[in-house]
Amino acid sequence: MKVFNTLGRKIEELVPLDRTHVRMYTCGPTVYDFAHIGNFRAYVFEDLLRRRLKHAGYRVTQVMNLTDVDDKTIRGARAAKIPLSEFTGRFKTAFFEDLKTLNIDPAERYPAATDHVPEMIALIRRLIEKGVAYRSNDGSVYFSIAKFPAYGRLSQDVVGRKAGARVAQDEYEKENVADFALWKAWDEGDGDVGWDSPWGRGRPGWHIECSAMSMKYLGESFDIHTGGVDNMFPHHENEIAQSEAATGKSFVRYWMHCAHLVVDGRKMAKSLGNFYTLRDARNRGYTGREVRYVLLSAHYRQALNFTLSALDGARASLGRLDEFRAQLREVAGGAGGGSLPDWAAKARDAFKASTENDLGISDALAAVFDMAREGHRVMNGGGLKPGEAAGVLELLDDLDRVLGVLAKPDEKPGSDVEALVRAREAARRVKNWQEADRIRNRLKSLGWEVKDAADGPKLKKR
């Protein structure tokens, strides 16, 4: 596989430290609110990456952290007048539900920051002992960027290091590059949140969290570190500085960043108020599968403009694939997989070649749709043998191990499907046949056939 490495800005052959096993770390959510679709662009990209690696035969160990202590979570818990863990617990639960809705394969581990404060304290201690971190008068600890000459290697254009200047916030602009906080001394605003440390009561900064937890679970050097481009500076730059200054080893081999999901040219973000959550999309009648498809279908390094009409487009595309699969099933009957027709073998090869080249999803999807078009044509002419249809069906399912967008054959109808069936019944009762047919088609696009029997409607997976 080849991937674009932000460190060095070029496409490189992916060679894991352990030949057969890829270790990757993913910056996860700050659990102070529901994640928005922009955040999920990053998680869907990482899911595509891990699925493609597994498809290529690698074992994958992915670690995704949960940031459950920082300014935003503390502020939220205080506003809600509940303990921090109860507040963040709600959003952790919601996050895992959303991952399921989007068919994102679970990471191997989801360490929470609050469970790893001793590891962070130990790492900060190491940095102080090495002389690259220092305690300030208020009991906070800062990383001294002047002591780490390689600082700025990842983001490349870090300017004007201000010797001795400090930033206490976790997020800041490149113009303000300065010594950043590893440990933040307790203050009023923290309420009852705090841990004892050699430097007094306080809490860890955001950056140290990812260094401590990634190295704990993946080793001091590992293969891939991912996130959205906004994580590159200062977060990932600071992670490199902390980790390499402490261990003297190279921290991560391949840094991969996805471009932003944008709305009218601006990053989708909580702070800009231009965001949609997955729940918003579902309330408008869209499924997780449709959202996943939109997020997946643009190359991860290209900005992706989010619109509702893109979700409609996803519905149409997925409908074509479902249709193709239903027709293949009919032709295959009970046949076992036979030889692949040329047009299907061509799609398989094109899919493999494009996804192994830095996850070239557009060409991969084009290959799948070309296959569907050709397959329809051949089947309509009666020219596909049952064994061949079974072979194509197997191929389609195999490609979906990477894409994760096809409706699952053994799926039980979800609550949205059941609601549609009820809505259709209601329309039929008042003889609104047009509406009933519209809903039937909607169910069809979701992969369900509805048959009207004497004792009511029956659902069958297409």
Q: Binds 260, which of ligand AMP, Zn ion, none (CB < 5 to 8 A, cut-off by type)?
A: ligand AMP
Could you give the CA distance from residue 81 to residue 67 in angstroms, rounded to a whole number? 20
Please tell me whether residue 230 binds ligand AMP under the rule CB under 6 A. Answer: yes
Q: How far is the CB of 236 from ligand AMP (least distance, A)?
A: 10
Q: How far apart are CA 272 and CA 102, in angstroms?
A: 24
Tell the smallest beta-carbon distance from residue 230 to Zn ion (Å).
11
Residue 459 CB partners (closer than 8 Å, separation 6+): 413, 417, 421, 443, 448, 449, 450, 451
225 near ligand AMP, rule: CB under 6 A: no
Q: Which residues pair with 61 in a beta bridge?
A: 23
Contact 69, 32 (CB under 8 A): no
* Cα–Cα distance measured from residue 375 to residue 384, given in angstroms and rounded to the nearest whole number: 8
Cα separations in angstroms, 244 against 220, 247, 337: 9, 5, 52
Burial of 426-451, coded b for 16+ CB within 10 Å and e otherwise, reads ebbeeeeeeebeebbebbbbbbbebe
- Residue from 105, 52, 58 nearest 355 by CA: 52
- Check residue 27 for interaction with ligand AMP (CB under 6 A): yes
Residue 43 Cβ vs ligand AMP, minimum distance, rounded to whole Å:
7
190 vs 178: CA distance, rounded Å: 24
Q: Where are the alpha helices (DSSP H) in 307-360?
A: 308-332, 342-356
**Binding span for ligand AMP by CB under 6 A among 27-35, 140-148, 316-324, 394-402:** 27-35
Q: Which is nearer to ligand AMP, 76 or 375 (CB)?
A: 76
Query: Cα separation of 58 and 52, whole Å?
Result: 9
Stretch that binds ligand AMP, among 2-10, 14-22, 263-271, 338-346 (CB under 6 A): 263-271
Tell which one of 51, 267, 315, 440 touches ligand AMP (CB under 6 A).
267
Long-range pairs, 352-358, Cβ under 8 A, ≥24: 355/52, 355/402, 356/1, 356/2, 356/52, 356/56, 357/2, 357/11, 358/2, 358/3, 358/4, 358/11, 358/301
Q: For the CB of residue 267, give the shortest distance to ligand AMP in the complex, in Å.
A: 5
Least distance in angstroms from the C-beta of 304 to ligand AMP: 8
Answer for which of 77, 268, 361, 393 binds ligand AMP (CB under 6 A) is 268
Q: Which of 14, 42, 281, 417 binds ligand AMP (CB under 6 A)?
A: 42
- How far, in Å, are 140, 165, 190, 235, 398 from residue 187 at the CA level? 11, 21, 6, 23, 54
Decide which of ligand AMP, Zn ion, none touches 210; Cβ closer than 5 to 8 Å per partner kind.
Zn ion
Choose from Zn ion, ligand AMP, none: what does 242 bind? Cβ within 5-8 Å by kind: none
> If contact means CB under 5 to 8 A according to the sort of partner, which of ligand AMP, Zn ion, none does residue 29 touch?
ligand AMP
| CB of 237 or CB of 322, closer to Zn ion | 237
List the beta strands (DSSP E) in 189-307: 202-204, 222-228, 252-258, 261-263, 266-267, 304-305
Q: Which one, 210 or 436, has the nearer CB to Zn ion?
A: 210
5, 6, 39, 114: residue in contact with ligand AMP (rule CB under 6 A): 39
Output the DSSP codes for 370-427.
Answer: HHHHHHHHHHHTT---HHHHHHHHHHHHHHHHHH--SPPTTPPP-HHHHHHHHHHHHH
Q: Which is nearer to ligand AMP, 268 or 318 (CB)?
A: 268
Q: Which amino acid is at 308?
A: L
Tell me the window of 9-17, 79-87, 226-234, 369-377 that interacts with ligand AMP (CB under 6 A): 226-234
- Interface with ligand AMP, residue 88, by CB under 6 A: no
R_g (Cα) of the chain, nearest Å: 25
Size of the site for ligand AMP (CB under 6 A): 17
The residue number whose beta carbon is nearest to ligand AMP equals 228
Measure CA of the first residue to CA of the last residue in the chain; give whole Å.
35
Peptide bond connecting 234 to the previous residue in cis, omega within 30 degrees of 0: yes
**Residue 230 contact among ligand AMP, Zn ion, none, beta carbon within 5 to 8 Å by kind:** ligand AMP
Q: By C-beta, is 359 or 372 nearer to ligand AMP?
A: 359
Smallest gap, in angstroms, from Cβ of residue 33 to ligand AMP?
Answer: 9
Binding-site ranges for Zn ion (CB under 5 A): 27, 210
38 contacts which partner out of ligand AMP, Zn ion, none, CB within 5 to 8 A by kind? ligand AMP
Q: Which is nearer to Zn ion, 91 or 448 (CB)?
A: 91
Given candidates 7, 16, 23, 38, which one binds ligand AMP under the rule CB under 6 A? 38
Site stretch for ligand AMP (CB under 6 A), options 217-225, 257-265, 307-315, 408-416: 257-265
- Give the binding site for ligand AMP (CB under 6 A): 27, 29-30, 38-39, 41-42, 227-228, 230-231, 258, 260-261, 267-269
